[in-house]
Amino acid sequence: MTTATPEKSPPPPVDPFGLSLCPAKTAGRPRAAEAEARTQELVAVAARLFLETGYSKVSLETIARQARVAVRTIYVKFGGKAGLFTAVINAGCAHFFDAMHDMETSMRPLRDILLDFGLRFAQLITSPSVLAMHRMVIAESMSNPELASAFFDSGPKQTREALQRFFGRPDIRSQLREDMPPEALAVHLLNCIMGDQLKRYLFVVPLAAPVTDVLPQVERGIDLFLGGARRQPG
């Protein structure tokens, strides 16, 4: 089996929830840009505290104090702790989903598109902060079901829906088996790319996987997926 490299170079490793803090706020009524910067700082502070302390153990008062905002501001902007956590997940995954927009319009070969997606996906979910967030959600999901819902809706659900739209494209659909709907193709692809490997990353507590480790794994997963999902000629 031959392997091809994607047209784009592999994306550099990232640590999505290692969000940088914004400059300290100034006195007086904030301008729009300053207000946005303060919101970003609040989300960054919340991300750090959620990872350091845990969702249930950190209070909104602590977050507000360290972000130098009023607790009421958190309720007004996010509706409470669950909404703030959703904003943290959205901020951490924004670069990933922004890069996926190309999937809806790209006319490159199917394998190249999937390989680009696979590299970004693998590096996202194996980054230290995402693994830490994932472990925290698993540990607290029974006592805080809103935490699990926020995490799933903002991350895994969006990824599956983006893949379903991609596999629903007529030109892509024509290349794949008729008996596999877009929903099944999305799940099959994610399992082929990472699948059981995710357990190793979650429970062994490794450092972020280097590109040299992720690339062969993703290539094998993409070829396995296409071997089972691609429509056979004739």
Residue range 153-182, pLDDT digits in tens? 888 898 999 999 999 999 999 999 999 999
Q: At what angle do helices 81-100 and 145-154 cross, to 10 degrees?
A: 20
Q: What percent of the chain has pLDDT over 90?
A: 44
In CATH, what number is assigned to the domain containing residue 70?
1.10.357.10
Q: Is residue 18 part of a domain?
A: no
Q: Which amino acid is at 179?
A: D
Residue range 9-52, pLDDT digits in tens? 445 555 566 544 444 444 455 577 787 888 889 999 999 999 99
Cα separation, 234 vs 220, whole angstroms = 26
Q: Is residue 6 part of a domain?
A: no
Q: Is residue 91 part of a domain?
A: yes
Which residues span the domain enclosing 183? 32-229
Please tell me the predicted confidence (pLDDT) of residue 208: 52
Q: Is residue 13 part of a domain?
A: no
Cα separation, 38 vs 127, whole angstroms = 26
Number of domains, the chain? 1
Q: Is residue 26 part of a domain?
A: no
Please tell me the predicted confidence (pLDDT) of residue 2: 45
Sequence-distant (6+) residues with CB within 8 A of 24 are: 68
Q: Is residue 25 part of a domain?
A: no
* Residue 226, strand partner residues: none
Task: Please count the other Cβ atoms lying within 10 Å of the Cβ belonging to residue 49.
Answer: 19
Long-range pairs for 23-27 at CB < 8 Å and ≥24 separation? 24/68, 25/68
Please tell me the predicted confidence (pLDDT) of residue 123: 83
Residue range 115-145, pLDDT digits in tens? 999 988 888 888 888 888 888 998 888 888 8
Where on the phi/psi map is residue 19: left (φ > 0), alpha (ψ -120 to 50), or beta? beta
Q: Is residue 181 part of a domain?
A: yes
Q: Is residue 19 part of a domain?
A: no
Please tell me the predicted confidence (pLDDT) of residue 4: 46
Among 21-25, 74-78, 110-114, 166-170, which is the least confidently predicted range?
Answer: 21-25
Q: What is the pTM of this model?
A: 0.76
Cα separation, 229 vs 177, whole angstroms = 6
Please tell me the predicted confidence (pLDDT) of residue 103: 85
Average pLDDT, the chain: 82
